[in-house]
Chains A and B, each alone.
Chain A
Amino acid sequence: MTLEQILFYIFALGGIVSALLVVTRRNPIISAIYLIVNFFCLAGIYLTLHAQFIAVVQILVYAGAIMVLFVFVIMLLNLGDERSLRDGFSWKKIVAGGFGFGVLMELIYIFMIQSDSQTIEMTRATEIGTVEAIGHILFTQFLFPFEVTSLLLTAAIVGAIVLAKKNLD
């Protein structure tokens, strides 16, 4: 068991557990905290894949900005515990659980059994994961989407302001 594998398993386990906890907690703040934990675990996994830039951006953007926004909104709305999580056994949950489980099993089947027996090696991962490499192709090959993204963000800002402001009439 190499260090790489051990780290992977730790972070993977952490990710799954924290994901489960996100989905099942009553208190939204607790859910948010566990989601942040999940993001950190994911960042760790990205690092095992030699994707440095993405890992850092993950923490900066997701854990640092988006989750902050979530927490702000939760506190703003002063949401309490979600009542009646107890009355769990509705048909909806069972059916949904069944469907989800089925899809999961099928996906696992596809990944494990259907794929080629030979394992793929990570040959160039270290080269492409650096900031330099990403930046290079981002500003040459994908320059246009990069610029358009700025428009998208502008639209989001305007939308968010319009939707959330108090009506002044």
Chain B
Amino acid sequence: MFAYTPLIVLFPLLGFLVLGLYGSRMKSEKLIGILGSGTVGLSFLFAVLIFFQMLNVEPEQRKQILILFHWISAFTGSSSSFSVNIAYQIDQLSILMTLVVTGVGFLIHVYSIGYMHGDRGFWRFFAFMNLFIFAMLNLVLADNFLLLFLGWEGVGLCSYLLIGFWYEKKFTGDAAKKAFVVNRIGDFGFIIGMLLIFSTFGSLNFTTVFNNASLLTMGNSTILWITLLLFVGAIGKSAQIPLFVWLPDAMAGPTPVSALIHAATMVTAGVYMVARCSILYALSPVTMEIVAVIGVVTAVFAAAIGLVQNDIKKVLAYSTISQLGYMFLAMGVGAFSAGIFHLMTHAFFKALLFLGSGAVIHAMHDEQDMRKMGGLKEYLPITYWTFLLGALAISGIPPFAGFFSKDEILWKTFNSEQGSWILWLLGIFGAAMTAFYIFRLVILTFEGKKRFDHHLHPHEAPKTMTGALIILAGLSVVGGFVGIPHWSGIEHWLDPVFSPAQYKLMSGEHSGGIMEYMLMAVSVGIAAAGIYIARWIYLRRIEIVASIQHRYPRIYRLLLNKYYVDEMYDATIVEPAIKTSEEILWKIVDVALIDGIVNGSAKVIGAIAQTFRKIQTGVAQSYAIVFIGGILFVITWLLLK
């Protein structure tokens, strides 16, 4: 069964090619939709089959590598060589990621059939989505850094294409460019990290690098730089501080894009990469600390912004940034499988929340401002109930999925050698804010008084959309059970992948006992408190909102304007870059220097020629003088020989 791995990657590629080349001529939306979703569905099917086969073999045999062909094969020196294959590695981690990507991806594709109905670029949408799935699968299934990077760049490209899908509007183009450029900054770090890896280990292959790495000692400074640089790439891709600014703007794209790319899959690529390189991170405690701190600070920072945003998708965008922070917090304290677990559950409920918001936007005829919504629960019942389940999941209420994963992270933060109670406290604070802002969203959108125009007549979404919502809601409910503490199927499943790293970290399981359950109770209590306060303010005493805004106007405006981070970047980076380009690079280097050299050399040649042409006096006698001079020269030379 393993031999069919390349098919998983191949199907979406075929989908992209067929839809890309012929899609514009296909008249039937149904055909395009079936084709686009079907390829992803087939990939999911094969992934499931491989997963079941893996279950039936011993843990040691679950890792397999399939080489498709030799991509690069170059000799770089006397004994070294640089060779990279297109090869896929199936192991517990990659199959998990594949299942998430193809499973959630399939549901979102089906949803998009309904959401994108009637759009002029219907075929283009599905083509790009398939290309995205292809790139993402390359990323998670790669067996070497270069192929992973290929997928990394590919998803960045598709993100650009899909954010800017409605390219007629200027701000979508700007948002797409911003996403790509900020990603690129991260990619720069990633590339240098890859170069360092190659120069240190002589190969970009995961197996080779990680086997050699496990022989090193902790605190190695090269590894420090490698992990730091790779993490820079992750900061860009997964929208952490300071490179998160592209994600809220990316909400300009269609909602399924936000769900798939900016919630469930692409942004989790950074987390996956850190998990894959767990052994490298385990060797560098400094980087782990940095990762954890950046993760938790981002989590709190973004959650705070989400408290006051009025656009439904922006709240969810900041929520995504915040939850990604939690995943990095997990990575930073050595809880790699907890982070991946949260990645999985987050994919479920965040996709659900985004798709649900898409249904709302669809029903409200493209209105996204929550202040103009309210009381939609009687018009959109399925959407409401599924959305509520997703909200409960993200808040961390048991027995929903988010509870198990988030709680695992918080417990490991408190408990493990690399964590500390300060980080735990910040994490709890973030969890409280999470519960608050998500239920603020639920209440403003679905409950309370109707604040929208009566002529709108919102109606429930079609079955293609609600079907996906229901399935995702189901997963959000039961998805957490694979991570029940002390049974923790998922942790055992992923154990062989992370065991070299865990060995380095020498993380013993301080068996939690009472402490663990106490902290669990605290986190649930905080979440419940957050929900209760949100309901109390927004349902009963909505005037409190206005009075808080009135009493702390500066804080409110700071949060509403996203801490002015964008403006700061504009002033410090963007404007100087534009100025430099214009004044220096264009006016001086390009016009004066380069054009000057090129035109100048032509002018110099012209001037030289002008001087030399005076030799042609036209008088034959002058030429004769030169003859005699030449004779003199030749005779002299012969004499002197």
Give the B-binding residues of A (Cβ under 8 A): 92, 95-96, 99-100, 102-103, 106-107, 109-110
Q: Across the interface, do B628 and A103 meet the contact criterion of CB distance under 8 Å?
A: yes
B:592-640 near A, CB below 8 Å: 621-622, 625, 628-629, 631-632, 635-636, 639
Those of B235-249 within 8 Å (CB) of chain A: none
Chain B residue numbers with a CB within 8 Å of A95 are 625, 629
Apart from A102-B636, A106-B639, list 9 A-B contacts with CB within 8 A. Answer: A92-B621, A92-B625, A95-B625, A96-B628, A99-B625, A99-B628, A102-B632, A107-B635, A110-B635
The A interface, classified by DSSP as helix, strand, loop or mixed, is helix
Residues of chain A contacted by B632 (CB below 8 angstroms):
99, 102-103, 106
How distant is the Cα of A61 from the Cα of B587 in the complex, in angstroms? 79
Residues of B with C-beta under 8 A to A107:
635
Chain B contact residues, majority secondary structure: helix
Q: Determine if A106 and B636 form an interchain contact, defined as CB atoms under 8 angstroms apart.
A: yes
Chain A residues, Cβ within 8 Å of B635: 103, 106-107, 110
State A102–B628 Cα separation when bound (angstroms). 10
CA distance A100 to B632 in the complex (A): 8
Bound-complex Cα distance A106 to B639 (A) = 9
Distance of A103 Cα from B625 Cα, bound (Å): 12
Residues of B within 8 A of A103 (CB): 628, 631-632, 635
Chain A residue contacts of B625, Cβ below 8 A: 92, 95-96, 99
Chain A residues, Cβ within 8 Å of B639? 106, 109-110
Whole-angstrom distance between the alpha carbons of A147 and B632 in the complex?
37
- Residues of B with C-beta under 8 A to A102: 632, 636
Q: CA–CA, A22 to B625, complex, Å?
A: 19
Given A106-B635, A106-B639, A110-B639: A92 in contact with B622 (beta carbons within 8 A): yes
Inter-chain contacts of A99 with B (CB < 8 A): 625, 628-629, 632
Query: Within the complex, what minimum Cβ distance (angstroms) separates A101 from chain B?
Result: 9
* B10: min CB distance to chain A, Å: 84
Q: Say how far A168's CB is from chain B's closest CB, in angstroms.
A: 30
Can you list 8 A-B pairs, Cβ within 8 angstroms, ordered by A?
A: A92-B622, A99-B629, A100-B628, A102-B636, A103-B635, A106-B632, A107-B635, A109-B639
Can you list, as one digit per residue, whether each of B338-374 has a CB less than 8 Å from chain A (1) or not (0)? Answer: 0000000000000000000000000000000000000
- Could you say which residues of chain B place their CB within 8 Å of the CB of A96? 625, 628
Measured in the bound complex, the distance between the Cα atoms of B541 and A51 in whole Å is 142
Q: Which chain B positions have C-beta within 8 A of A92?
A: 621-622, 625
A49 CA / B273 CA spacing, docked (Å): 107
Closest to A104 in B: B632
A89 CB, min distance to chain B CBs, angstroms? 15
* Set of chain A residues within 8 Å of B628, measured between Cβ atoms: 96, 99-100, 103
How many angstroms from the CA of A107 to the CA of B638 in the assembled complex? 12
In the complex, A110→B629 CA distance in Å? 18
- The chain A residue sitting closest to B617, CB to CB, is A92
Q: What residues of B have a CB within 8 angstroms of the CB of A106 in the complex?
A: 632, 635-636, 639
CB distance from A100 to the nearest CB of B (A): 6
Q: How far is the CA of A3 from the CA of B625 in the complex (A)?
A: 40
Distance between A114 CB and nearest chain B CB, rounded to angstroms: 8
A residues within 8 A CB of B636? 102, 106
A103 to B621, CA, bound (A): 18
Assembled-state Cα–Cα distance A107/B622 (Å): 23
CA distance A109 to B635 in the complex (A): 11
* 4 tightest Cβ-Cβ pairs between the two chains A and B: A99-B628, A102-B632, A96-B625, A99-B629
The residue among A103, A107, A109 with the most chain B CB atoms within 10 A of its own CB is A103
Nearest-CB distance from A90 to chain B (Å)? 11
